[in-house]
């Protein structure tokens, strides 16, 4: 079968965002074939470029994780020539993505109300901490703060320890993924009626949405959730256990699996038959009685024995891997989730690949995240017909 073009081939995204939520969104669109033009301040570019070590030839690993398959153009938005250049790119674009503070682009004539009048087909996605229409719209959005304020920290960690944040910036990442979904929906709508629209994405909203079953539980019960650390609030046993050597995860998803665990592996059918433990609802209520019994029994064999036997009887389980072990796992390699791409300064750089696997319209071959202003001449010269003096003027070089 002939391979079809990537889904967003022919679409252009004007990316005025920086740091993580916006760049994560536009990287997803770039993987899907869109031409993403990343506009950066000529004086340092995206903040994350300097967020190292670690780095590859001066480009931080943080920046590298969110900016593959893009073109970087150095433009100074504070000067008239830079503002005109951005407007000219916007005129040819399907989507604009930005994460400036409230009113930050309006002063340059690049706000939604201004550009939508000139380009009614433009999809304009704004990403902020609390949304453009919010009593806190003027406040900046920081992932750590959002994790704290939107409930994530309250449910993360052990009950007898202080709340903790998730180690990666999940509020940013959730928002970037939701923004990509919203943009794809807006593109479908534009294909239908030719009109763009404003997409208002808030980190706070995205984090609340991703509280999922725990947030729903708080609404339904009217009670604050308890932190369970590496255990599950409503499924038991579903947590880490120490074996004779190292910890593993055992995730018993139903009563049938619990019976296999007790009867075939633990050789303790009495546990499965005990009315306190026979059903998941009963196990949730009596977890304090059950878990110490299981801990003592699971410590009797090493992790390899448990992983082999649990998989044999169909009980979900897994090793607690280090980061490097996970990234080098056979399943990661088989799924092309770790890639090596050519880089103009570092020779080659390793990247985590796209998880999007489409059979007939696959994501594009990865290209290394661009150097600051690497494509200024190609984009401004090729797309807008600028000469060298105009390109320099757009970068604020007078």
The neighbour count for residue 355, using CB atoms within 10 Å, is: 11
Q: What length does the chain have?
A: 398
Q: Collapse the DSSP code of 55 into the 3-class scheme (helix H, G, I; strand E, B; otherwise coil) and give the result.
A: strand
With CA atoms as reference, report the closest residue to 206 among 256, 148, 150, 283: 150
Nearest CA among 19, 14, 18, 17 for reference residue 36: 14
Q: Residues 94, 143, 172, 205: which is the catalytic one?
A: 172
Task: Give the C-alpha distances (Å, rounded to integers) separating 140 from 128, 134, 135.
Answer: 7, 12, 12
Residues whose CB falls within 8 Å of the CB of residue 221, separated by 6 or more in sequence, listed in order:
none
Q: For residues 98 and 200, what is the distance between their CA atoms, to the nearest angstrom? A: 10
Long-range interactions of 151-157: CB distance < 8 A, separation 24+: 151/207, 151/208, 151/211, 151/215, 152/207, 152/210, 152/211, 154/224, 154/225, 154/227, 155/211, 155/214, 155/225, 155/227, 156/227, 157/227, 157/229
Evaluate whether 247 touches 321 at the Cβ level (below 8 Å).
no
Distance (Å, whole) CA 92 – CA 149: 39
Structure tokens at 73: 């153009």
Look up 172 and say whether it is catalytic: yes
Q: Which positions ≥6 away from 295 have C-beta within 8 Å?
A: 241, 242
Beta bridge partners of 317: 250
**Cis-peptide, bond into residue 53, ω within 30° of zero:** yes
CA distances from 356 to 28, 115, 233, 326 (A): 9, 32, 30, 19
Bridge partners, 319 (sequence order): 248
Enzyme catalytic residues: 172
């Amino acid at each position: 079968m002939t391979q079809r073009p990537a889904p967003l081939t022919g679409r252009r995204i004007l990316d005025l965002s920086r740091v993580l939520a916006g760049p994560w969104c536009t990287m997803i669109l770039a993987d899907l074939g869109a031409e993403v033009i990343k506009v950066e301040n000529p004086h340092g570019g995206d903040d994350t470029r300097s967020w190292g070590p670690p780095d590859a030839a001066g480009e931080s690993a943080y920046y590298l994780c969110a900016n593959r398959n893009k073109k970087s153009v150095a433009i100074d938005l504070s000067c008239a020539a830079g503002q005109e250049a951005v407007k000219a790119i916007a005129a040819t674009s399907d989507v604009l993505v930005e994460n400036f503070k409230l009113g930050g682009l309006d002063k340059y004539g690049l706000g939604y109300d201004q550009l939508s009048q000139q380009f009614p087909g433009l999809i304009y996605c704004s990403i902020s901490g609390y949304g453009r229409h919010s009593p806190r719209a003027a406040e900046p959005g920081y992932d750590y703060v959002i994790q704290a304020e939107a409930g994530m920290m309250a449910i993360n960690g052990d009950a007898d320890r202080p709340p903790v944040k998730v180690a990666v910036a999940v509020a940013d990442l959730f928002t970037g993924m939701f923004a990509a979904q919203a943009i794809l929906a807006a593109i479908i709508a534009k294909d239908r009626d030719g009109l763009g629209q404003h997409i208002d994405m808030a980190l706070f909203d995205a984090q609340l949405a991703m509280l999922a079953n725990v947030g729903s539980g708080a609404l339904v019960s009217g009670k604050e959730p308890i932190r369970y650390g590496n255990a599950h609030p409503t499924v038991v046993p579903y947590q880490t256990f120490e074996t004779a050597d190292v910890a593993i995860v055992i995730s018993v998803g139903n009563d049938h699996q619990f019976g296999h665990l007790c009867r075939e592996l633990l050789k303790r059918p009495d546990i499965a038959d005990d009315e306190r433990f026979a059903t998941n609802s009963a196990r949730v209520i009596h977890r304090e009685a059950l878990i110490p019994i299981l801990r003592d029994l699971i410590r009797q064999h090493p992790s390899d024995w448990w992983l082999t036997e649990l998989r044999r009887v169909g009980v979900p389980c897994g090793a607690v891997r280090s980061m490097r072990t996970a990234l080098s796992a056979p399943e990661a390699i088989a799924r092309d989730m770790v890639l090596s791409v050519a880089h103009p300064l570092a020779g080659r750089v390793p990247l985590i690949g796209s998880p999007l696997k489409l059979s007939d319209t696959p994501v594009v071959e990865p290209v290394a995240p661009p150097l600051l202003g690497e494509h200024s001449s190609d984009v401004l010269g090729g797309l807008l017909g600028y000469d060298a003096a105009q390109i320099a003027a757009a970068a604020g070089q007078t």
